[in-house]
Structure 1
Amino acid sequence: MHPIHSSRLAVRLKDGSTYAGCNQENASYPLCMCGERVALYNAAVYSPNVAPETLAIVIKNEKKAITTPVSPCGACRQVIAEFEQRFKIRFVFIDF
């Protein structure tokens, strides 16, 4: 996940349903789960036969501190690749 803990994620499937995800922290860092994977796994559990259409990464951008999108980590990129379907990834910045 991004080094920004104020981000949320959602995956929209081709049937219009939406599933959310957020970073899941653990004291043992390797056991943490990034929001991208949480959202995709959530969708896979509840709609196993419906392909993803868009993954939205929404970042709370206080004082416009972030100027460029922060890409998913390597583990998340691997999971995205293994879905074996092309879908959009959108970055949304919310200024507070």
Structure 2
Amino acid sequence: MSAPDEALLAAARAAADAAYAPYSRFHVGAAVRAEDGRVFAAANVENASYGLSLCAETNAIMAAAVAGVRRLSAVAVVGYRAATPGEPVLATPCGRCRQVINEFAGPDTPVTVQSAEGSETLAVTLGDLLPHAFGPERL
């Protein structure tokens, strides 16, 4: 795996700071890079009806999709607890987000998850995160 995409991680980190997370107080930012190089970043947005909350990864990918993106070349995620922002936390994508990423990326797409202060990094491929994925090719 190549070196982490620092620009993508910086975009994810900035998005995490903009999260709307009054209930969990857990901020997550995600940034995705389209194959054409454009970057889309977003944060988690919570709702009092918890099931209506949206994850950062899904928000970033939907913004990219609305802009016409159909393939991603990289994904970055940064998260932290608002009460303890310096405490290292790796906010790996949830199962739903892994499936959403899979819709627009292949198994070799790099996914980098980093703690807010940058002391911990997980650099894997989507195939590592979601082995035996179900995708459009199975329909």
Structure 2-normalised TM-score? 0.56
Question: 2:105 and 2:31 mapped to 1: Cα distance?
Answer: 18
Q: Is 1:26 the equivalent of 2:53? A: no
Equivalents in 1 of 2:105, 2:75: separation in Å? 14
Q: Which amino acid aligns with 2:97?
A: C
Runs of 4 or more above 6 Å deviation: none
State the one-letter code of the partner of 1:55: V
RMSD between superposed Cα atoms in Å: 2.5
Seen in structure 2, the aligned counterparts of structure 1 residues 79 and 4 have a Cα distance that, compared at 3 Å, is farther
Percent identity over paired residues: 34
- Report which of the two structures shows the higher radius of gyration computed on alpha carbons: 2
1:57 aligns with 2:77: yes
What is the number of equivalent residue pairs in this alignment? Answer: 92
Are 2:103 and 1:95 aligned?
no
Give the structure, 1 or 2, with the largest relative contact order (CA under 8 Å, sep 6 or more): 1
Q: Structure 1's 75 and 4: CA in aligned 2 closer, same or farther, altered over 3 A?
A: farther
List gaps (5 residues or longer) in structure 1: none
